[in-house]
Amino acid sequence: MNRDADLASGEREKRQESVPELVKDLTRDISELVRQEIELARVEMTEKGKQAGLGVGMFGGAAVLGMAVVGGSMATVIILLDLMMPLWLASLVTTVLYAAAAAILALRGRDELKETGAPIPERTKQSVKEDIQWAKTRAQSKDR
């Protein structure tokens, strides 16, 4: 209850301030908001960067192991096809099949990345919108 009384008295004091004092207060408040928003964006992007770094490292390890698996499976397919056709043809067929699979994966991966969009700090973006609305509301109330 005491806090509400302090807020009410603070509002009365603001109504008695001159326009230059109010503009000075508004400028100071906006500067503080901008600093806070920049800090929020920095923290948010740092969190995303750490998470992305961990994911990229794991993806790199999986890629190395995946290459070994591909090499082994490719050799197996060539050996099996060699039973039915010349070795050079078995190698060619296997290479074409693996190249087609790689092309399909690359195209689908590209499409997925396009859908992801830019790495924008969404919470900061929303918070800035709210701050702008707050500043507009405050500026309008001081005009009265």
Tell me the domain boundaries of the chain.
2-143
- Mean pLDDT (the chain) is 82
Counts of helices then strands in the chain (DSSP H, E): 4, 0
Are the C-beta atoms of 115 and 99 separated by less than 8 Å?
Answer: no
Q: Map residue 84 onto helix, strand or coil.
A: coil
At residue 142, the pLDDT reads 62
Q: For 52-73, b where at least 16 C-beta lie within 10 A, e where not — what string?
A: eeeeeeeeeeeeeeeeeeeeee
Residue 102 has pLDDT above 80, yes or no: yes
Identify the CA nearest to 143 among candidates 128, 87, 135, 36.
135
* Residue, of 118 and 7, whose pLDDT is higher: 118
CA of residue 72 relative to chain centroid, distance: 37
User: What gap in Å lies between CA 62 and CA 38, rounded to an integer?
Assistant: 36
Are the C-beta atoms of 18 and 101 separated by less than 8 Å?
Answer: no
pLDDT level of residue 112 (50, 70, 90 thresholds): confident
- Mean pLDDT in residue range 39-62: 84
Task: Kindly report, residue by residue over 2-46, the tens digit of the pLDDT.
Answer: 555 555 566 666 667 777 887 888 888 888 888 888 888 888 888
